[in-house]
Amino acid sequence: MEEVLYNIEIHRNEGNYMGKIYSDIDGVKEFENNRIDRLLRDIIVDMQFALDDEFSTRMTSTDPIEFADEIK
C-alpha cells in the first residue's frame, strides 16, 4: 500500500527560495533561504525529525506482549 507522507512546494522569489511542506504529521511548515541547497537541507532535516518522532511514538505505544508468540 502506498502512502503519501509529504507534499513539497518550492518557489523562487526575488533571489530567495521558499519551501512549503504539507503533512498529516506536522501540518504545513514554511522555510525560506537564499540558497536552494540550504533550503533543501532544512526541509530534509525537519522531515527526518518529524518522522523519527512519529515512528518512535508508534513503536513505544505498541505493547510488546502482542508479539510474544512471534518471538518464540
**Residue 34 DSSP label:** S
Q: Which domain holds residue 24?
A: 7-62
pLDDT of residue 67 exceeding 80: no
- Asked if residue 68 belongs to a domain, the reply is no
- Asked if residue 72 belongs to a domain, the reply is no
CA angle 14, 19, 24 (to 5 degrees): 160
* Higher local confidence (pLDDT), 43 or 54: 43
- Asked if residue 55 belongs to a domain, the reply is yes
**pLDDT tens digit string along 6-51?**
999 999 999 999 999 999 888 999 999 999 999 999 999 999 998 8
pLDDT of residue 72 exceeding 50: no
Core vs surface per residue 20-47: b (16+ CB within 10 A) or e? ebebeebeebebebeeeeebbebbeebb
**Residue 11 pLDDT:** 97
- What residue type is 49 in one-letter code? F
- Asked if residue 2 belongs to a domain, the reply is no
Structural domain count, the chain: 1
pTM to 2 decimals? 0.70
- Asked if residue 56 belongs to a domain, the reply is yes
Confidence of residue 64 (pLDDT cuts 50, 70, 90): low
